[in-house]
Structure 1
C-alpha cells in the first residue's frame, strides 16, 4: 500500500470512528462526582448505548424530525432530540479524529504499531472532548486506555518490522504516572487525579519510541498548557489560580511526541 493510500484509509477510519463518539461524549460529560447521564438530551427517554449520535431517536419520532418547543419554559429542542449545548458536534469529532489518524499514518507508515495508534486515537479524542467540557477524565476511559496501550504494544513487539521497545513503554508509563501523581499531591487543584491516570497511557505510547520521545511529549504538554493558561490570564478570562483542563494538552503533547518519534524511528 502506498503512503497516500495508507493516509487516506486512516483518515476514513478516523472519520467513521469519530462519528460514533458524540453519544459517549454526551453521557460522560457530567461534573465530577455525578453519575453518567442515563437520559436522552431532552430528558424524556433512557439513553441507550454509548456509540452513535447524541440525539434521541424516540424524540425525533415524536416530533416528526423537526424542532419543537416545550411547554415548560419554551426551550427550543434541536431536531436530534437535545439542546445544542448538550450535543457534541459529530462533524467536528469526525474531522478531528480523521486528521489525527491521517497524521499518525503519515508518520508511522506501514509499521505494525500504526494499528495500535489508530485504535487508541478515537479514545484520546473522546477524552479531550469530555475534559474540555466538564474538566473530568472518566476512569472507564483512562484506565482501559493505559492497559490497552501496554497490552497492544506488547503484542506489536512480537511482530516483525516494529521500531519500538516495549519495556521502555512500561517504564515510561510508570514514570509519567508517578511524576504526575507527585504534582497532584503538591497541587490537587492544578493536577487532577484523572490526569495522573491519563499520564500512564501517555507514557506507554511515548515510551514505545524511547525516552527522548517521552521528554519531548511531556515538555510539549506542559508548554501548551502554560501557553493556554497564560492566554486566558492576559485576556482576563481567568486568574492565576484558575484551574484549566490539562487532559487535552497532555493528549496534544503526546500526539506531538508520537509523531516526532514515529518520523525519527
Structure 2
C-alpha cells in the first residue's frame, strides 16, 4: 500500500486498539469513540485516494463500508442478541479500510473476523463456558488486520 494511506491506517490502528479494549471489558463499542474515529479514517482515506492520483479509489472505500455494514446489519437483525449495533458500525469501518484494496479484501477480511470469532466462541464452549458471551469487535479487527497484512 502506498505511503499516502499510512495516516489512515495509523488512526485505524489506534482506534482499533482503543475499541478492542473497551469492547473486551464492557461488550460495548461506544458511538462517542467509534463514530468520530471512523469519520477521521474515512477523510484520511479520501485524502489518500486524491494524493495517489486515484480519486475513484474512494468508491471502493465507500463500497466496502456499505457492503460490510449491510451484510453485518443482516446478521444483527437476524440475531440481535449475538451481534450488536456497534459491531455493525465497526464492520462498516473495517469494510472501508479493506475497500482500499478491493471487494475481495472486504469479503475475506470480514469473513476472517467471523472465523476468528467462531474459533473463540468454540474455545469458550470447549472450556465449559456455556452461555458465556464474547466481544466480537476485537475479532472483526483481527480479521481486518490479518487481511491488510496479507497484502493485495
1:84-116 Cα deviation digits (max 9, x unpaired)? xxxxxxxxxxxxxxxxxxxxxxxx4x6210121
TM-score where L is the length of structure 1: 0.54
Aligned to 1:117: 9
Instruction: Indicate the SS of the match to 1:157.
Output: helix
Bigger proportion of residues as helix: 2
Q: What is the CA distance between 1:161 and its match in structure 2? A: 7.2
Aligned to 2:88: 196
Structure 1's consecutive aligned runs of 4 or more residues displaced over 3 angstroms after TM superposition are none
Aligned to 1:135: 27
Within a 5 Å distance, the mapping from 1:1-265 to structure 2 comes to 108=1, 111-160=3-52, 165-239=57-131, 242-260=132-150, 263-264=151-152
Distance 2:85 2:147 in 1: 23
TM-score where L is the length of structure 2: 0.92
1:51-108 Cα deviation digits (max 9, x unpaired)? xxxxxxxxxxxxxxxxxxxxxxxxxxxxxxxxxxxxxxxxxxxxxxxxxxxxxxxxx4
1:148-168 Cα deviation digits (max 9, x unpaired)? 222111111111377x92101
Instruction: Indicate the SS of the match to 2:63.
Output: helix
* Higher CA-based Rg: 1
